[in-house]
Structure 1
Amino acid sequence: MNNNCHCKIFRKLFLAVIVIALAGCASREPEVRTVRVEVPVLVPCKTQAVTVPSWVVSGLKKSDSLEVKVRTLLAERRQRTGYERELVAAVGACR
């Protein structure tokens, strides 16, 4: 009989807690607020394509003198440096 009494008290207490919880939720108005969220968006890169120059070394012949070959290689080195700078600038413009 004692267990039955505890069960009735527990049920009444449980129902009272649920009623209080529901009453608390019902009396509160929802808070409306605007939140600004900044999200990064992918944007297509709009740069001109870097054209590959015609390398001066491609015009060398085996019969050319050593001086001509060295000058041609130095000229191509300058060409490559300029080409690389154009590529770096194009990539930098897309960041």
Structure 2
Amino acid sequence: MKLLLLGFVVLLAGCAGREPEVRTVRVEVPVQVPCRTQEVAVPPWATAGLKKADSLELKVRALLAERRQRTGYERELVAAVDACR
């Protein structure tokens, strides 16, 4: 028992005699940054003002115009999202 205790004291003395090694470690961590882009305004859609009694030609023209509006709106949304990446 005394031998075991003596061995334990010697081990502790060996650890106490060393000076701790001081190191500086640089750790790069991504930090979230809030996205600051202007809000994309929803355009007034071309088909919003259509009435049931409007002619077929008028309805088709409004649908084609709205298709172009939606394409432009989607491009603006994609640009806003890409600006935040």
Q: Could you say whether these structures have the same fold, taking a TM-score greater than 0.5 normalized by the shorter chain as the test?
A: yes
Matched, 1:81 2:76: no
* Structure 2 residue aligned with 1:14: 4
Q: CA RMSD in A?
A: 1.1
TM-score (norm 2): 0.91
Q: Percent identity?
A: 76
Which structure has the bigger radius of gyration? 1
1:71 aligned residue: 61
Moved beyond 3 Å, runs of 4+: none
Letter in 2 for 1:68: L
Deviation at 1:23, TM superposition (A): 1.2
Map 1:42-53 → 2, pairs under 5 A: 42-53=32-43
Query: Structure 2: which 5+ residue stretches go unaligned?
Result: none
In the alignment, structure 1 segments of 5+ residues that lack a partner are 1-10
TM-score by length of 1: 0.83
Deviation at 1:37, TM superposition (A): 1.0
How many residues align? The count is 85
Q: CA–CA distance in 1 between the matches of 2:34 and 2:10?
A: 56
Which residue of 24, 27, 35 maps to 2:17? Answer: 27
- 3-state DSSP class of the match of 1:71? helix
One-letter amino acid of the counterpart of residue 76, structure 1: E
- Once the two structures are superposed, what CA deviation does each residue of 1:36-88 show, in whole Å capped at 9, x if it has no partner? 11112110101000000000101212222111110110100110111111111
> 1:59 aligns to what?
49
For 2:15 and 2:41, locate their aligned partners in 1 and report how far apart those are by CA, in whole Å: 67
